[in-house]
Chain A
Amino acid sequence: MNQFMHDLLLVAKKDLRIEIRSRVIINQVVPFALLVLVLFGFALDADQKTLRVFSPGLFWVAVLLSLLLAIQRSVSLETANDSLTGLKLAGLSPAAIFFGKSIAIFTQIVFLELLLTGGIIIFYGSVIEDPALWVVAGLVTALAVSVTGTLYGALASGLEVRETLLPILLLPVLAPVLIGATKAYSGALGETISNGWQWTGLLSLFALIAATLGSLAYGVLVEE
């Protein structure tokens, strides 16, 4: 177990260190996410009242679109120079690689959520009315999309059409997450009366199933 945790943290630290040094998230993904928020503003006719009502949904659509970029980035780290084979030869278990990469993406998504929350407060005039729900639902959703994204990133990796295939495969699977996270944030931002904690429960169930299935399936995928 200790070895597993050690390997997991090793992979997570490696990915995060590369991110911090290459600054792809800061230089590309964050501006992209903010751009999406601004585009929604243009599309909805710059009416702050409307934007505030739809802010939970727009927030999570921006997160999902940015997630695609983060996943592509995470996959390209392993496919370039066939680094995945290196990790396997180093004796790391597939489950440790899977969770390590998921944690790295989770950290990036949480960072992105913080910035986007600032974005919807400034641009859309949203107000956080239930901070506990906002934090818990944000973390659980980040976990759900990170583990699912890592699995689907591995599914699409090494294929010529990876960039186009990943969204087609991943986005329908994340449909319940989008619904749940939007409802939970509607409650947290006080836009509608919704049972946010019940939705957070469903999101946790999704994250748990995705993590279990993902860690098992990752082993099958990396034996290639």
Chain B
Amino acid sequence: MFKQNQGVTSSPKSRLLGFTTLLGLVTLFVFAFFLTDPDVRLHPTTGEEIGQFDAVRLLYLHVPMAIIGPYLAPLVGAVASIGYLVKRTPWWDVTAHAAIEVGAIFCGLVLVQGSIWGRPVWNTWWEWGDVRIMTTLILFLMLLGYLALRRVVADEHKQARRSAIVALVAAVNLPIINRSVEWWESRTLHQKSTLSELKIEDLTFFTLMMGIVVFLMLFTWLVLHRFRLGWLEKESLKQESLTALEERRAEAAINEEGRS
């Protein structure tokens, strides 16, 4: 564990992780935007050039973010929330908050970035009825609700309990949302996973895998720091109330002396 009393959120190990992540991100950008080929194929009958062209490069960032934002982060948040409801210790609560806050950012980025990618490829900024887009959007809104609840000043335990329930309900609701959108408009522009069709030595596959690893590192680094910040926040609040208590006691003691 890091030294809590220093008031910093970094430690030698997290700095190393941060530095490695940064290097990984730079390498990923070089691979995604320069070294890999654009998606250009020839139409079998007309011989026309078709494909996603340079827009395919955005997928090297989109896929890892879409794995973390709407799936991994809420899962970590829900597990930590169960942990809190069982153990009732602040560690679980701060972990859930950190994972969901970072997850909300990733969800937001996935939606914006997916929309930018969709404009040239699907010829639309937004597709109503696409299961993945709608599920991610509703999840994003639920996560924003969770964060709004966290911003409300309330008793520490009260807030932790309520937040844990909101996170759990969101996680349980997710499959139902997914199913309802699927029935609602049974269409999707998202392609099915084509990873198995790619060869291991394929540069595309390599870059995609590197993207997933680098973004997992980024997620870990962000959650780690957000966790430490949350922990320091709690510590400082505790310290503040202890100091205030000491001051009131000192005042009372002076008053007592004055009277006697």
Contacts and interface: CB of A to CB of B under 8 A. Distances in A.
Contacts of B179: 176, 202
B152 A159 contact: yes
B161 A220 contact: yes
A209 B172 contact: yes
Nearest to A167: B145
A164 to B, nearest CB: 8
Nearest to A162: B152
B72 interface: no
A7 to B, nearest CB: 22
Given A155-B149, A165-B152, A209-B172, A220 B138 contact: no
A155 B162 contact: yes
A222 to B, nearest CB: 10
A190 to B, nearest CB: 19
A155 B146 CA distance: 11
Interface string A53-89: 0000000000000000000000000000000000000
A224 B165 contact: no
Given A173-B142, A220-B161, A179 B184 contact: yes
B180 interface: yes
Contacts of B125: none
A161 interface: yes
Contacts of A176: 173, 176-177, 179-181
A221 interface: yes
A176 B181 CA distance: 8
Nearest to A198: B183
Interface in A151-201: 151, 155-156, 158-161, 165, 168-169, 171-173, 175-176, 179-180, 183, 195, 198-199
Interface string B123-143: 000000000000000100110
A39 interface: no
B173 A169 contact: no
A68 B191 CA distance: 38
A165 B148 CA distance: 7
Contacts, number: 77
A85 to B, nearest CB: 14
Contacts of B157: 224
Interface residues of A, number: 30
Nearest to A218: B165
B165 A220 contact: yes
Given A159-B154, A160-B152, A175 B138 contact: yes
Nearest to A203: B180
B189 interface: no
Contacts of A155: 149, 162, 165-166
A183 to B, nearest CB: 7
B152 A179 contact: no
B25 interface: no
B142 A172 contact: yes
Interface in A106-162: 151, 155-156, 158-161
A220 B88 CA distance: 11
A221 B165 contact: yes
A217 interface: yes
Contacts of A161: 152
A205 interface: yes
A180 B180 contact: yes
Nearest to A212: B172
A46 interface: no
A98 interface: no
Nearest to B185: A179
A209 B145 contact: no
Nearest to B142: A172
Q: Which 5 A-B pairs have the closest CB atoms?
A: A176-B180, A172-B141, A169-B145, A172-B142, A168-B145
Interface of B: 85, 138, 141-142, 144-145, 148-149, 152-155, 157-158, 161-162, 165-166, 168-170, 172-173, 176-177, 179-181, 183-184
